[in-house]
Amino acid sequence: MAKSGMPPVGLRVPPGSRDWLLPLRDPRALVLRDLGVWLAGISEVRRGFDWPGTVAETHLVLGSIAGTGSLEVLGRRWVLSPGTLVLSPAGLPRRYFTRAARWRLLMVRIADVGRWRHLGGDGVRAFSDPWLTRLRAPMEGMLAEDPAGLGVDSHTRTSRGEGPRPEDYLRSRYRDRMGFGSAVGLQAPDGPDSFQLHATILRNQLETMLRAEGPRPTAATVALASLWGRVREHPHEPWGTQHLAQALGVSRATLHRLVRRQHGVGPGQVVENIRMAEAKRLLADSDHSVQVIADQVGYASAFSFSAAFKRVVGKSPSAFRSGVASEKD
């Protein structure tokens, strides 16, 4: 861990966290085990979740479904905001964690063998938005067909800095759900059932996404995802073009080019959309005045905020709040 610049920390899974893991040792999941999938599923973790260490023999595909987490690899940190999907190569010191109240994430661990050796390297790679949805849909389909797929509570009882090693935690809790090992449970049916069909779709999606000849994600994708995560965490800051460019370490011209290539709009529009999403949350979930909300999302006055809100959302902040209140009644 010292090489990465990350502080030593024990595995921490707070109470209230839940895991929905694919039953990879089911005979019908053979198509995934043959691909090298070692563990896969969806988890919802609570504030304080902290997962250090490498699980050195596996590449990690990590996607953020809801809430925001962080990934650290070799001393660099990426913010994993909703829609972000990244790959952390096997063998590198890494840590992923959250300070959000809840973080719903998708995870696939793939063995560093054979066809996946090309995934190795010294950096995180990001995949474009549709891939998270493409992996999530068949995964949820498999879980829906799994008799034990309702999810299990997961947590560690030890304090921060004294938790178990990730490998020990996984093997002690989820040995029957991990790939590699004799198949258990149901006998494979004569013909394909829904579980097998979803497993085959998931295999095809993973294979297409990760194959060597496929399009390689760029470092810019990861850097922009991290930048927008910082904007979400601190929407009140003055996120002008120059500030964004400095945070990304590029010129303003390069920033505009990267953002337009990735999102189809300019950086100012992306920032405004993030601020409006936070404003809608505050209007719905708090009784703060419009002026207070304007301050929290980076507007100089209630007037400028209200004008921007109506232009983007289509109604005034007060009308939006009234509409949310009436829906709750």
Cα 46 from Cα 54, distance rounded (Å): 21
pLDDT at 54: 56
Q: 2.60.40.420, 3.30.428.10, 2.60.120.10, 3.40.50.2300: which CATH number matches 2-210? A: 2.60.120.10
Residue labelled with tokens 């800095």:
161
pLDDT tens for 23-66 read 998 888 999 998 999 999 999 999 989 988 655 678 999 999 99
Pairing mode, strands 102-111 and 69-73:
unpaired
Q: Give the per-residue SS3 of 218-249.
A: CHHHHHHHHHHHHHHHCCCCCCCHHHHHHHHC
Q: What is the 3-state secondary structure (H, E, C) of the chain?
A: CHHHCCCCCCCECCCCEEEEECCCCCHHHHHHHCCCEEEEEEEEEECCCEEECCCCCEEEEEEEEECCEEEEECCEEEEECCCCEEEECCCCCEEEECCCCEEEEEEEEEECCHHHHHHCCCCCEEECCHHHHHHHHHHHHHHHCCCCCCCEEECCCCCCCCCCCHHHHHHHHHHHHCCCCCCCCCCCCCCCCHHHHHHHHHHHHHHHHHCCCCCCCCHHHHHHHHHHHHHHHCCCCCCCHHHHHHHHCCCHHHHHHHHHHHHCCCHHHHHHHHHHHHHHHHHHHCCCCHHHHHHHCCCCCHHHHHHHHHHHHCCCHHHHHHHHHHHHC
Spatial CA neighbour of 174 closest among 193, 159, 194, 154: 154
Residue span(s) of the chain under CATH 1.10.10.60 come to 234-328
Which residues in the chain land under pLDDT 70? 1-9, 53-56, 75, 122, 129, 158-163, 180-192, 212-219, 327-329
Residue 195 CA to chain centroid, in angstroms?
25
Q: Which CATH architecture has domain 234-328?
A: Orthogonal Bundle (1.10)
User: Measuring CA to CA, which residue among 291, 247, 292 is closest to residue 270?
Assistant: 247
Digit-coded pLDDT (tens) for 94-143: 889 997 899 999 999 998 877 887 887 767 888 876 899 999 999 999 99
Q: What is the CA radius of gyration of the chain?
A: 22
What is the per-residue pLDDT for 259? 86
User: For the CA atoms of 105, 149, 40, 113, what is the dihedral angle to 10 degrees?
Assistant: 180
> Where does residue 328 rank: exposed (0-12), middle (13-18), buried (19+ CB within 10 A)?
exposed
Every domain range in the chain assigned CATH 2.60.120.10? 2-210
